[in-house]
Amino acid sequence: MNFQQLRIVRETVRHHFNLTEASNALFTSQSGASKHIRDLEEELGVELFERRGKRILGLTHAGTSLLEIIERILLNAENLKRSAHQLTHEDQGILAIATTHTPAHYVLPPIIARFKQAFPKVHLEIHQSGPDEIVSLLKAGKVDIGIGPEALDKEEQQFACFPFYHWYHGVIVPKGHPLDDGQPLTLAHIANHPIITYHEGVKGRARIDKAFTSAELMPDVVLTALDSDVIKTYVELGLGVGLIASMAYHEDRDRGLKLLDASDLLPRNITYLALRRERFLRSFAYHFLQLCHSDLDAATIQQVLAGNQA
């Protein structure tokens, strides 16, 4: 048994059982990858994959059971490398972060600036991703930290999550818009206008929909986008009123627009910092997390990662 065999099994699953893609990801041949899998199955005495001829269809029951162990072995091997590197290069390395657009654009810049002052030799990788991709990157061990919505907190078995910040949606309109008349804002008033907001499943969109449904309103959502800047662009064109994360509005930069407070109309949202359990974190990663939230010292994080939240 060797690590290459285990990597091929893992990559085959990650690439939806496409052995060609898995082989390319590991810079090996398809025939070589197939032989590695067969050799491993012979050594273990079980078949890991269901097949139709030479085509791999999925995992067998045994393969499903053993995949978790394979993932853990490979994760521990990576942890060993990272731990050894920590001993000799304490202030050098790579910190990979997966985050959605709003934290990347509006929240993280001052934190990253302070981090780079403290660790100028650390290379930062920022993966701007949707919530589902953040989960996948964390599970695959391709990033150290995930920053995103409540969906991350639902993966509690694999992830340790810490609240980063709370936020509300606001209503963005062109200056002089009828909603900007000084009168109390209501959901009914908002629903009288075409709405531009986030795609379903992104940045609290489900909470927006639920608020209108609970008020027995059917808003006309005419355009959706992944990030706030796109929404603001089309609001400026007069295509509708925008529902965005309030922090995405800057008075100096968005001079043609005005943000209307809707914190009493729409529910509070939480953005989380997420870590994969059992993954070794370099000391500079703990420093970054504490810059995000002063209460997150290394001892607190390690306690939660170990599953001891008492």
**pLDDT of res. 122:** 93
* Predicted TM-score (pTM) of this structure: 0.71
- Answer yes or no: is pLDDT of 309 > 50: no
Residue-wise pLDDT tens digits, 46-69: 889 988 887 898 899 888 888 888
**pLDDT of res. 310:** 38
Per-residue pLDDT band for 97 (boundaries 50, 70, 90) equals: very high
**pLDDT of res. 165:** 94
pLDDT, the chain, mean: 88
**Calpha distance 55→49 (Å, rounded):** 10
Sign for the CA dihedral angle at 172, 178, 183, 187 comes to: negative
**Calpha distance 95→145 (Å, rounded):** 8
**Calpha distance 14→277 (Å, rounded):** 19
The number of angstroms, rounded, from the C-alpha of 215 to the middle of its chain's C-alpha atoms is 31
Amino acid residing at 246: S
Residue-wise pLDDT tens digits, 268-299: 999 999 998 877 788 899 999 999 999 998 88
Please, are residues 275 and 148 in contact by the beta-carbon 8 Å criterion?
no
In degrees and rounded to multiples of 5, residue 167 shows phi and psi of: -155, 165
Max CA distance (Å), the chain:
75
**pLDDT of res. 89:** 61
Helix or strand run (H / E) with residue 57 = strand 55-59
